[in-house]
Amino acid sequence: DVVMTQSPLSLPVTPGQPASISCRSSQSLVYSDGNTYLNWFQQRPGQSPRRLIYKVSNRDSGVPDRFSGSGSGTDFTLTISRVEAEDVGVYYCMQATHWPITFGPGTKVDI
């Protein structure tokens, strides 16, 4: 199975300041169709996961443009350009290039 690691696991943030989360996979996430199925999810307290970014860098509809994704191969980053109070929650990277789908352990973002 592909092992996903995230760092840091806990991220205290200050509103208005940038924040970034790193995600690494144990093998390349480039699929045979040329796509890289690395997605980012946000889970606010008491809510179900919400997809923020798909295929590394594509922001989902309704996601504020302060969220961005980057990376390639085995190294990926989620960046929040200016953190807001509503960004508190746990962020997960997920790979769906290889079966089984696997997730990172999550990064808890709090103010």
Interface residues with another protein (CB under 8 A) are: 31, 35, 37, 39, 41, 43, 48-51, 54-55, 60, 92, 94, 96-97, 99-106
Nearest distance from C-beta of residue 6 to another protein, angstroms: 10
Nearest distance from C-beta of residue 22 to another protein, angstroms: 16
Q: Which two tokens stand for residue 82?
A: 């200016």
Nearest distance from C-beta of residue 14 to another protein, angstroms: 26
Kindly give, in sequence order, each residue whose CB lies less than 8 Å from that of residue 97, ignoring residues fewer than 6 positions away: 2, 29, 30, 31, 35, 36, 37, 38
Nearer to another protein by Cβ, of 83 and 104: the residue is 104
H/E stretch holding 53: strand 50-54
- DSSP secondary structure code for residue 104 in this structure: -
Nearer to another protein by Cβ, of 48 and 85: the residue is 48
Nearer to another protein by Cβ, of 29 and 80: the residue is 29
Nearer to another protein by Cβ, of 14 and 72: the residue is 72
Concatenate the DSSP letters of all residues of 5-47 into one string.
Answer: EEE-SEEE--TTS-EEEEEEESS--B-TTS-B-EEEEEE-TTS
Cβ atoms < 10 Å from Cβ of 24: 17
Nearest distance from C-beta of residue 15 to another protein, angstroms: 26
